Amino acid sequence: MNVAYTDYADTGYRRAEQKAAQYFASLYVQVKEKSYVPTLTEDILIWKRKHIHRPSWLSFLSRGKKKPDSRDYHKYIGWLHYTGELDDYLDRSISYIYMRDLGMDLHSPDTKARIRRVAQDTKKLLLRPTNRNGGGTPDYMSLAGLYRWAQKEGIENAVIWVINKLKLVATHIPEEMDADQAQRKLIKIIVGVVMHVIEDMSVETSPAERSARLDDAIRLGYSYGLTYPFIDDLLDSRVLNAQEKEQYSQMISQALLTGTVPELRQWSGNNMDLVQFIHKELRDAFEYIQGHQRPETQRAFFEQSNVFFHSQHIDRIKDLGNPHYSNEELYLPIILKSSSSRLIVRSVISASADEGFEDRTFFYGIYNQLADDFADMFQDMEDGAVTPYTYYLKYRRQRTDLINPFEMYWAVISHLIHEVYHSDAKTREVMLDRAINGLKRCKARVGAEKYNEIMDIFASGNPEFNRLVQQMVRTADQVDFFDKLLRDQMVTVLRNERKEKDYFIDTIKTVRNEINNSLQIAKPLGIPPMKESLIDAANYTLDGDGKRLRPILTWVMAVNEYGLQASAIVPLLRSLEYMHTASLIFDDLPSQDNASTRRGRPTLHRVHDSATAEITGLFLIQKAIEEQSSLEGFDPQTVLKLIQYSSQRAGDMCSGQAMDLNSKGKALSLEELNTVCYYKTGIAFEASLVMPAILAQVKETEIAILKKFAYHAGIAFQIQDDLLDVQGDMEQLGKPGGQDAENNTSTFVSILGQEGASREMWEHYCLAMEALQEMPRNTAFLKHLLNYMVNRDR
C-alpha cells in the first residue's frame, strides 16, 4: 500500500471533517436561534420588487400569447423571446451556473463580463432556426450539432471517441438502473469539466492550445463522470447484492488509498460480466486522470476523491430504521460529499489557482444537496434512503432534537448570501430565484394539496416567514432557469430517443421477417432442370442472414410516410432485395473481391462456380424487373416511371462495379473513392427512398432531398464498412475481416487512416442529417437508420 496516499487521505479527511463540523455548528446556531429569519425576510422583501407585478395595459395586448409549459422547449423559448424576458432568463441562469458549477464570485467584474458574453452567445444559439421533423431535438443536443462544434474547435477525434464511449456505457447500464438519468449525469459532468477548462483559458490562448485542452477536458470529463453511473448509481441501486457491494466498495477504496486500481480476481456474485466491464473502464479512466495531472494537483485529487467516496459510503450504509443518528451524523457527510464532488473537478483538470474558489465551493455544496433531497424525498422514502428530509419525516415526533432540514436550507441560503458572498445583490437575486423556483416546481409536480401537507410539516415553525415565502411561490414570476429546462429537455430527448430506437428496432424485426417470408422464388411445375438449378442458386443467396435494410427502408417510407398499402408494395420490396443480392454476388466474384463468406455462409461461387454465380446475378436482376412490372393498384404511367428509374439505377450500379474493378491495385483519391462508393452503395439507398416516393407521386423537390440524404448516408455506410473491415469481429460481420487489404483495394481507411476515415464518416453523417432538416415530413426513422449505419457492428 502506498503510505503517502494513505497519509494524504487520512489527513485530508480529518481536515475536511473538522471544517464541515465548524460550518455545521454555525448553521445549527442560526437554525436554533432563527437568526436567519429577519435577514432573509428583508432579502425577500427587496427581491419581490422585481418579481411581483401588477398587470399593465400591455399585458392585455399579449394575452393571445399565453405562457406555455416550460417542458415544451421550443414554444417556451419562443415565448420568452416574444415577451422580452429571454435576456433576464439567460442572465440569471448563467449566473447561477457560474456560481454553482464554476464556484465563481458574481460580484467580480471579470465574471460579470464573462456571463454577459456567454448569455449573448447562448441567445444566438437558442434563436437559431431548428429542425422540428425529427422530434424537436435542439441542434446543440444532436450528434450532428456536437460534431459541428468539434470541427469548429478542432477536436473531432475527442468527440468521436466520447460518442463511442457513451454508446458503450449505454449498452452496459443494467435494467435496474435509470439509464436516462445515468446518461444525463455523465453528460452533465463532461460538460461541466469542459466549462471549467474554457473558463480557465484566456483570450491569449492559442487555437492549438485551446484544441489540446478541450480534447483533454472531454476525455477527463468522461473519465471522472464515469464514477457517477458506475460507482454512485450502481452502489445506490439493487443491482449488486450486499456482499458484492462490500467487495466493490473495498476495491474503490483501495484504489484511492494506493493510487493503483487492484486487479479483479474472484467475484462472489452473479454480476461478473458487468463488473469486468466496469473494472476495465474505471481502471482506464483512473489511469488517464493520473497521467494528465500535475504532481501538485494529484494530492488534492486523491484527498478530495477519498473525502467524497468515504462520506458517500457513510451516508449510503445508514439505516432508516435506526432512530439514533445525531444531527452531526446526518449533516456532516452531506456537507463533505456535496463539496468534494465539485472540488475534485478542479484537481482533475489541474486548474490554475482561484482565490476563494475552495471556500465558496465548500460552503455552497450543502445548499445544492438539500435542494435535491427536498425534490427527491418521497422517492428516497420509498427506497428507504436516509437523508435529512426522510429522517425528519419519520422521527420528528419522537426526536425533538432533530434539526428541521427545511429550516436548515434557508439558513444555508442566508449564510451563503451574507457570509460567503458578502451580501452581493446579484447573489441574493439568483439564490432566491432558485429557491422559489424549486418550491414552484415541487408544487406543480405533487399538486397543491400534497404541497400544503409538506409545508405544514416543514415550515410550521416560522409561520410569518412561511406566509411570505408561500406568497412568493403563488405570485412571483421570472424565476425559471435554463439548466432546469435543459435537464428536463435532455431527459425527454433521451427517453424519446429510446422509444424511437425501440420502435425502429421493432419495425426492422417485424418488416424483416415479413420480407424474409416473401423472398423465396417459387419453382413452377414443368420448368427445365437448368432453370430449377438457377432458382435454387438464387434462393441460396436470398436465404442468408441479410440485414434487408433497403426493402425495410422502402416499406417504412411507403407505408408510414406516404400511406401506401403494405400488401401493394410487396413486389417492390422483393425487387429491391433481388437487385441488392445480385450486386453482392457480383461483388464477391474472384474477379472482384474474391470473397469466401457472405452473410455467414460460403459465397455462391464457392458453393457452385463463377459462371453459375454470374448467371444467378443476371437472373435476379431480371426477376427484380418482373416484380416491379407486377405492381398493381398504381397508375400505369407511374409504374413505368418507376421501372425506368430502376433500370437507370441498375445500370449505374454496374458502372460502380466496373469502377471498383478498374481501381484494383490503384491508389484512389478521396473524390474518386466517393464516386465509386456512390455508384456501388449510395444508389441502392437512393432507390430505396425514391421508388416509394415515385409510387406516392411526391414532389420532385422532396425527391431531390431524398437523393441528397441517400448520397451522404450511403458514403457514411460504406466508411463504416471499411472501418469494420479492420476493426470488426468476423463472427458478428458474417465475413472475414481484412479483405480490403488482402485484395489491395482502396478504401477510406487506406486513404485517410482510421481516425481520418472516422472524421469523414461523421462529416457525411452531418450532411445527411442536415439534408433531413429540409424534409417536409417526420424523419425520425431516417434519423435512427442513419445512427444505426454509423454505429453498427456488422
Handedness of CA 148, 152, 156, 158 (dihedral sign): negative
Report the Cα 617 to chain-centroid distance in Å.
43
pLDDT of residue 134: 44
pLDDT of residue 4: 54
Q: Parallel, antiparallel, or unpaired for β 597-598 and 601-602? A: antiparallel
Higher pLDDT, 222 or 780: 222
Query: Cβ neighbours of residue 56 under 8 Å, at least 6 residues apart?
Result: none
pLDDT of 57 > 50? The answer is no
In which element (H, E) is residue 122 found?
helix 109-126
SS3 assignment for 328-355: HHHHHHHHHHHHHHHHHHHHHCCCCCCC
pTM: 0.85
pLDDT of residue 450: 94
Query: CA Rg, the chain, in Å?
Result: 31
In which element (H, E) is residue 597 found?
strand 597-598
Of the ranges 98-102, 238-242, 589-593, 690-694, which one carries the lowest mean pLDDT score? 589-593
Mean pLDDT of 270-290: 91
The answer to whether 162-488 and 520-791 have equal CATH topology is yes
Taking the CB of residue 19, how many other CB atoms lie within 10 A of it? 17
Q: How confident is the model at residue 484 (pLDDT cuts 50, 70, 90)?
A: confident
3-state SS class at 225: helix
Highest mean pLDDT among 60-64, 348-352, 372-376, 647-651: 372-376
Query: In Å, what is the CA distance from 653 to each residue of 59, 166, 599?
Result: 63, 37, 21
**Domain spans of the chain?**
162-488, 520-791
Q: Which pLDDT tens digit goes with each residue over 573-590?
A: 999 999 988 888 888 888
How many whole angstroms separate alpha carbon 335 and alpha carbon 364? 9
Q: Which pLDDT tens digit goes with each residue over 296-351?
A: 788 888 888 889 999 999 999 999 999 999 999 999 999 999 999 888 888 887 77
pLDDT of residue 258: 83
pLDDT of residue 734: 47
pLDDT of residue 781: 85
Q: How confident is the model at residue 651 (pLDDT cuts 50, 70, 90)?
A: confident
pLDDT of residue 746: 80
Mean pLDDT of 470-495: 84
Q: Which pLDDT tens digit goes with each residue over 680-689?
A: 778 888 999 9
CATH value of 520-791 in 1.10.600.10, 1.10.150.120, 1.10.287.1080, 3.30.420.40: 1.10.600.10
pLDDT of 541 > 60? The answer is yes
Hey, what's the cell of 379?
422517492
Q: Which pLDDT tens digit goes with each residue over 594-624?
A: 788 887 788 888 888 888 888 988 899 999 9
pLDDT of residue 137: 64
Q: How confident is the model at residue 665 (pLDDT cuts 50, 70, 90)?
A: confident
How many whole angstroms separate alpha carbon 326 and alpha carbon 324? 6
pLDDT of 58 > 50? The answer is no
Q: Which pLDDT tens digit goes with each residue over 110-145?
A: 899 999 999 998 898 888 766 545 445 667 778 898
Q: Which pLDDT tens digit goes with each residue over 445-471?
A: 999 999 999 999 999 889 999 999 999
In which element (H, E) is residue 601 found?
strand 601-602
Of the ranges 51-60, 399-408, 648-657, which one carries the lowest mean pLDDT score? 51-60
Give, as one character, the DSSP assignment of residue 139: G
Q: How confident is the model at residue 743 (pLDDT cuts 50, 70, 90)?
A: low
Nearest Cα to Cα of residue 781 among 495, 497, 489: 497
How many whole angstroms separate alpha carbon 133 and alpha carbon 489? 16
How many whole angstroms separate alpha carbon 286 and alpha carbon 5? 15
HSE-CB at 562 with a 13 A cutoff on CA atoms is: 24
User: Looking at beta carbons, which pairs linking 594-603 to residues 24 or more positions away fall under 8 Å?
Assistant: 594/743, 595/735, 595/739, 596/736, 597/734, 597/735, 597/736, 598/541, 598/544, 598/734, 598/735, 599/544, 599/545, 599/546, 599/734, 599/735, 600/544, 600/545, 600/734, 600/735, 601/544, 601/545
HSE-CB at 546 with a 13 A cutoff on CA atoms is: 27
CATH value of 162-488 in 3.30.450, 2.60.40, 3.30.1360, 1.10.600: 1.10.600
pLDDT of 791 > 70? The answer is yes
pLDDT of 412 > 60? The answer is yes
Q: How confident is the model at residue 2 (pLDDT cuts 50, 70, 90)?
A: low
